[in-house]
Amino acid sequence: MSIISDHLGIRNHHLTIGGVDTVSLTQKYGTPLYVLDEDRVRRNFRTFRGAFPDADLYYAAKANWNLSILRIIASEGAGADVFSDGELYAALLAGIPPERILFNGNSKTLNELQMAVDTGVRVSMDSLHELYALSDLAVKSGKTVDVAFRVNPDVSPDTHPKIATGLAASKFGIGYADVVEAYKEAKKLGGVRPVGIHCHIGSQILDVAPFGEAVEKMMDMVEQITRLGVDLKFVDLGGGLGIPYQEGMEAPEPRDLAGAVLPTFNERSKSIGIAPKLILEPGRYIVGDAGVLLTGVNTVKKAAKTFVGVDSGLNLLIRPAMYDAYHEVVVANKADVAGTETYDVVGPICESGDVIAKDRELPSVEPGDVVAVLDVGAYGFSMSSQYNGRCRCAEVLISAGGVDLIRGQESYGDLLAKQVLPARLL
C-alpha cells in the first residue's frame, strides 16, 4: 500500500505525519494516541474555501470538536454547525462568532433552545413543536432569533444507511410537503425570524449527483417560501462530501461539489430574484485525513485467523464497528516493509465486533509494534467512550514539525469523577 501523501511519509522505516516521526511520538506520549495535523486541516479548509469563494463555511463541529481544532477553524474565518449545547459552548469558547453558528438538532432541550436565545446564534428547527418552544422562550427573553427549518429533501445518496439523513423515513427535518406551512407559522410568531432554509442529505457521499438533486429540490422550496413573503438570507446545504478511506477509492473534491450545486443555486436564485448566501457544513473533508490513531500491539495470536491485539478499540474508534467502515492501517515502525501475512487488527474491548481492520496484509507483527490507523480525524475521538472502564487517550497536534499536547490522557479519577457512592454503601 502506498501511504505517501502530502502529510504522511516514511523516514527511517517509520511513518511520519506532518514531518513528525509517529514512533517517537508514542515513545514520548505512549499509546493509544490521537495525532492531528494542523497544516493539513488548514489546507483542507482552504481547498474547500477555494471551491466556494462566495459561500459561508460552517464547520461541522461534531466531526472533531477539540478546542484546538475549533480555534484553527475560527482563525480560518469559518462558522460552525453545532448539534448540542456542549458543541455550542466549545465553538463559542473557541471564538467562533455567534452570528456564524447554526444550532442544529432534531430533539433539542428547552435548555438548549434558551442557550441559543441567550447566545444569539441561528437555529435550525426540526419540528413545529420546536418552533413554538423557541418562539415562547425568545419572546420571554425579549429577543428575536434568526431561524431556518431543516428540510428533508428525500434524496437517497449511496452511503451507509446509518449516515444517510435525507431519506423520506429519516428522523431529521420536516417533510417536503410541510415546509410551506412551517414557514407560514414561523412568520406569524414573535421571537423568531425565518431567514434561512437548511438540509443535510448524509455523510461520506462519494458521488456529487445527489447534492445536485438536493439543491434543485431546495430551490423549489426557496421559490415557494419566497412567494410567502419570507426574505431568505441563506440556503444551507449541509455537509457530506466523502473522502477516500481506501487506497484506490475515488472521491470527489470540493470543486466537483461546486460544479454540481453552484450553477443551479446561482441560476435559481437569480430567477427567483433573491441573493441568499450559500452555506455549507463540511466536517469530514476538513479533518478526516488530518488524524491518525497510534495504537500499540499487545499480542499476536494465531487461531482460525491471526489476530493482532492492540490497545485501542471501539472505545476510541467506533467507525469500523458501527458502519463497517474501512480505515487503512500501517505498522508505523515498519512502514516501508511489504506485507507478508494476513491479520485482523482487533481492539481490547469485550465485544466480538471490536475489529479495527479485517484481513489486512501487513509485515510480520510483534508485540511492541505500533499500528497507525489512518483517516481518523473526523468522528474518531469525538465518538469515543469509556466503555469497559478504559481511559480515553491523549491527543497531540502537529504544526510545522512541532508537537503540542492538546488533550491529556484520562486518569482513573476521570473515569469515576462524577460517580457518587451513597452514604449507606460507604
CA–CA separation, 53 vs 128, rounded Å? 34
The separation between CA 199 and the C-alpha centre of its own chain, rounded to angstroms, equals: 16
Quick one: which of 146, 281, 369, 375 contacts ligand LLP (CB under 6 A)?
Answer: 281
- CB 212 → ligand LLP: shortest distance, Å? 17
Q: Is 215 in the site for ligand LLP (CB under 6 A)?
A: no
Residue 104 interacting with ligand LLP (CB under 6 A): yes
Q: Is 152 in the site for ligand LLP (CB under 6 A)?
A: no
Q: Does 252 bind ligand LLP (CB under 6 A)?
A: no
Stretch that binds ligand LLP, among 26-34, 110-118, 199-207, 262-270 (CB under 6 A): 199-207
Candidate list 153, 240, 313, 320; residue touching ligand LLP; CB under 6 A? 240
Least CB distance from residue 46 to ligand LLP, whole Å?
A: 16
Binding status of residue 284 toward ligand LLP by CB under 6 A: yes
CA 274 to chain centroid: 31
CB of 112 to ligand LLP, least distance (A): 15
3-state class (DSSP) for residue 121: coil
Residue from the set 21, 38, 81, 344 that interacts with ligand LLP by CB under 6 A: 81
Per the annotation, the verdict on 350 as an active-site residue is yes
Residue 75 CA from chain centroid, whole number: 18
Q: Which of 34, 48, 98, 101 is nearest to 76 (CA)?
A: 48
Nearest alpha carbon to residue 47 among 280, 218, 248: 280
334 sits near ligand LLP (criterion: CB under 6 A): no
- Of residues 1-60, which lie at the interface with ligand LLP (CB under 6 A)? 60
Using CB under 6 A as the binding rule, the residues of this chain from 110 to 139 that contact ligand LLP are none
Report residue 13: phi and psi, to 5°: 70, 0
* Binding of ligand LLP by 384 (CB under 6 A): no
Query: Using the rule CB under 6 A, is 381 a contact of ligand LLP?
Result: no
Residue 301: which H helix or E strand, with range?
strand 291-302
234 vs 379 by CB, closer to ligand LLP: 379
Contacts of 296 (CB under 8 A, 6+ apart): 26, 30, 31, 32, 310, 311, 368, 369, 370, 371
Indicate which single residue of 166, 191, 239, 363 sits in contact with ligand LLP (rule: CB under 6 A): 239
Smallest distance, ligand LLP to C-beta of residue 282, A:
5
Comparing CB distances to ligand LLP, the nearer of 25 and 205 is: 205
- Non-local CB neighbours of 225 within 8 Å, separated by 6+ positions: 179, 180, 183, 194, 197, 232
**Measured distance CA(405)–CA(419) in Å, rounded:** 27
The whole-angstrom separation of Cα 363 and Cα 330 is 9
Alpha carbons 107 and 84: distance in angstroms, whole number: 10
* Site residues, ligand LLP (CB under 6 A): 60, 62-63, 81, 104, 163, 165, 200, 203-204, 238-241, 281-285, 319, 323, 378-379
Q: Which residues are catalytic?
A: 350
